[in-house]
């Protein structure tokens, strides 16, 4: 199976709940390596740029408001089948529909405040990783 990279964000709600370590453990236990990481309080422009594909969606303003409401932890993860593996760990977008034992089922409160972000495909992963990390700040092992 291919070694992939994906971009993960622990959103402001999960940072506020003090569950960064618990979420990191799930990545590590699933065989995903953290190859870059930073804590950042996104500016409105940064959040809008990151979610530009959703610009026309009705929830866009609320999503941006939420993403700038507090600091986030952003990381690049690497491992076999990392994109899908990470999406499986996250669970469905709406925590009410997320499978038991997933990050969103366990830590998220609503579809807006849903604890985590994960890239959905190889192309988006590449763009999203480079949005936060220059190549020299990625430490693949
Ligand atoms: N979102 C929302 N309301 C919706 C759909 C999405 O607030 O009805 C937010 C939610 O935070 C989600 C993000 O927009 O994580 C991006 O949506 P997407 O469909 O890409 O879901 P994801 O890939 O994060 O599961």
Binding site residues for ATP, as ranges? 11, 59, 87, 93, 104, 114
pLDDT of residue 141: 76
pLDDT of residue 103: 98
pLDDT of residue 33: 98
- Looking at the predicted complex, does its ipTM rise above 0.95? yes
Q: Which atom of ligand 1 is nearest to the CA of 90?
A: 25
The model's pTM: 0.98
- Residue 17 burial (C-beta neighbours within 10 Å; 0-12, 13-18, 19+): middle
DSSP characters for 27-86?
HHHTT-EEEEEEEE---HHHHHHHTGGGTTSTTHHHHHHHHTSS-EEEEEEEEETHHHHH
pLDDT of residue 98: 98
Name the residue at shortest CA distance from atom 22 of ligand 1. Answer: 93
- Compute the distance from residue 109 Cα to the ligand 1 centre, in Å: 13
- Whether 117 is catalytic is yes
pLDDT of residue 1: 76
Tens of pLDDT, residues 95-141? 999 999 999 999 999 999 999 999 999 999 999 999 999 999 999 97
Q: How many other CB atoms are found less than 10 A from the CB of residue 106?
A: 16
């Amino acid at each position: 199976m291919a070694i992939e990279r994906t971009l993960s964000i622990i959103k402001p709600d999960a940072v506020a709940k003090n569950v960064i370590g618990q979420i990191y453990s799930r990545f590590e236990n699933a065989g995903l390596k953290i190859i870059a990481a930073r804590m950042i309080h996104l500016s409105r422009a940064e959040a809008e740029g990151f979610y530009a594909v959703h610009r026309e969606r009705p929830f866009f303003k609320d999503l941006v408001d939420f993403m700038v409401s507090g600091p986030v932890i952003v990381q690049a993860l690497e491992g076999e089948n990392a994109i899908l593996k990470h999406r499986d760990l996250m669970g469905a977008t709406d925590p009410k529909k997320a499978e038991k034992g997933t990050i969103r089922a366990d830590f998220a409160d609503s579809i807006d405040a849903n604890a985590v972000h994960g890239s959905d495909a190889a192309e988006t992963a590449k763009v999203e990783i480079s949005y936060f990390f220059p190549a020299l700040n990625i430490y693949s092992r």
